[in-house]
């Protein structure tokens, strides 16, 4: 069997299994297993696959057809032009969240000196470590209540060669009385009743990183309530929100913070994805 044969077979299997992106997922698995780039895969599609390679590819294909996210199978996810290690126990970075990082990066670059940045609910570290990598003068702290997630963040910190501190704890309890120039967070925001309806791939991800309480806003209430005690003068808060949640979260934030400016930012799909407040 050659590369082209296996890709056709994989796409057919994944299509039949209900995979939403069969062509992309088949290509990613082939690139990873064969150590080839996208262009190499295309122009060397008649190259024969060894028996060992086919066995590895078929094992990955079986896992993907059962619904396991391709990022867990590969062990990595790309985000903000960087590669992050992921696996069961940590949320998979998504392109939607790049809107949050881009907004925070603008705020970091507007601050003089070495702005202190806190990434709450850090998970894999994709938000905070992207900021640390792309704006290295920032002093970044990552906090999460999950020790398992923090182990992924620790590995990503070392792999990226970034500079950041990792803290374990429930929201602001992880940082004591420390204050920051910028607080950024992508907290759990899916209403609990909707968890069972999620795409099968998403249900592989940790419920702790998804469950936002009865209305999806539990963590936002807590962050809004406590953020003022952890923001320096002139500081800013940036929150990712779920589709349709921006208005409610914005009102929560405005009711708890003396905002000089507050509003929302839309993602590439036109969805209000980020709520921000500057004090």
- State the pTM of this model: 0.94
Residue 149 covered by a domain: yes
My answer on whether 135 and 248 are in the same domain is yes
- For residue 20, what pLDDT is reported? 93
My answer on whether 235 and 200 are in the same domain is yes
My answer on whether 209 and 110 are in the same domain is yes
Tens digits of residue pLDDT in 76-94 = 999 999 999 999 999 999 9
Q: Name the percent of the chain lying above pLDDT 90.
A: 99
My answer on whether 62 and 90 are in the same domain is no
Tens digits of residue pLDDT in 129-163 = 999 999 999 999 999 999 999 999 999 999 999 99
- For residue 90, what pLDDT is reported? 96
Q: Can you give the residue range of the structural domain that contains 21?
A: 3-67
Tens digits of residue pLDDT in 22-79 = 999 999 999 999 999 999 998 999 999 999 999 999 999 999 999 999 999 999 999 9
Tens digits of residue pLDDT in 219-257 = 999 999 999 999 999 999 999 999 999 999 999 999 999
Those residues whose C-beta lies under 8 Å from the C-beta of residue 170, and which sit 6 or more positions away, are 145
Residue 236 covered by a domain: yes
My answer on whether 88 and 194 are in the same domain is yes
- For residue 72, what pLDDT is reported? 97
User: Which residue, 43, 67, 91, sits at the end of a domain?
Assistant: 67
Residue 72 covered by a domain: no
Residue 122 confidence class, pLDDT cut points 50, 70, 90: very high
Residue 181 confidence class, pLDDT cut points 50, 70, 90: very high
User: Which residue, 67, 88, 118, sits at the end of a domain?
Assistant: 67
DSSP secondary structure of 1-64 = -BHHHHHHHHHHHHHHHT-S-HHHHHHHHHHHHHT--HHHHHHTTTPBPPHHHHHHHHHHHHHH
- For residue 221, what pLDDT is reported? 97
In degrees and rounded to multiples of 5, residue 271 shows phi and psi of -85, 135
Sign for the pseudo-dihedral over CA of 13, 16, 20, 21: positive
In degrees and rounded to multiples of 5, residue 126 shows phi and psi of -60, -35
Mean pLDDT calculated for residue range 189-202: 93
User: Which residue, 21, 45, 67, sits at the end of a domain?
Assistant: 67
CA 196, CA 14: separation in Å to the nearest integer?
A: 22
My answer on whether 195 and 149 are in the same domain is yes
């Amino acid at each position: 069997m050659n590369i082209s044969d296996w890709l056709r077979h994989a796409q057919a299997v994944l299509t039949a299994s209900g995979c939403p992106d069969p062509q992309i997922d088949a290509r990613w698995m082939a690139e990873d297993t064969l150590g080839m780039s996208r262009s190499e895969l295309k122009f060397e599609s008649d190259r024969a696959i060894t028996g060992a390679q086919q066995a590895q590819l078929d094992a990955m294909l079986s896992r993907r057809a059962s619904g396991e996210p391709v990022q867990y199978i590969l062990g990595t996810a790309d985000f903000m032009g960087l590669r992050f290690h992921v696996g069961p126990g940590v949320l998979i970075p998504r392109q939607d969240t790049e809107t949050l990082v881009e907004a925070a990066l603008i705020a970091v670059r507007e601050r003089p000196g070495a702005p202190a940045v806190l990434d709450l609910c850090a998970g894999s570290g994709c938000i905070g470590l992207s900021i640390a990598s792309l704006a290295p003068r920032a002093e970044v702290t990552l906090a999460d209540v999950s020790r398992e997630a923090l182990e992924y963040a620790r590995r990503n910190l070392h792999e990226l060669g970034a500079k950041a501190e990792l803290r374990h704890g429930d929201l602001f309890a992880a940082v004591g009385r420390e204050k920051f120039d910028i607080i950024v967070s992508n907290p759990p925001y899916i209403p609990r009743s909707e968890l069972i309806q999620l795409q099968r791939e998403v249900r592989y991800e940790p419920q702790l990183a998804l469950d936002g309480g009865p209305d999806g806003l539990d963590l936002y209430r807590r962050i809004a309530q406590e953020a003022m005690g952890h923001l320096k003068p002139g500081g800013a808060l940036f929150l990712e929100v779920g589709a349709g949640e921006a208005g409610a979260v914005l009102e929560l934030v405005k009711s708890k913070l003396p905002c000089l400016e507050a509003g929302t930012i839309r993602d590439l799909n036109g969805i209000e994805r980020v709520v921000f407040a500057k004090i």
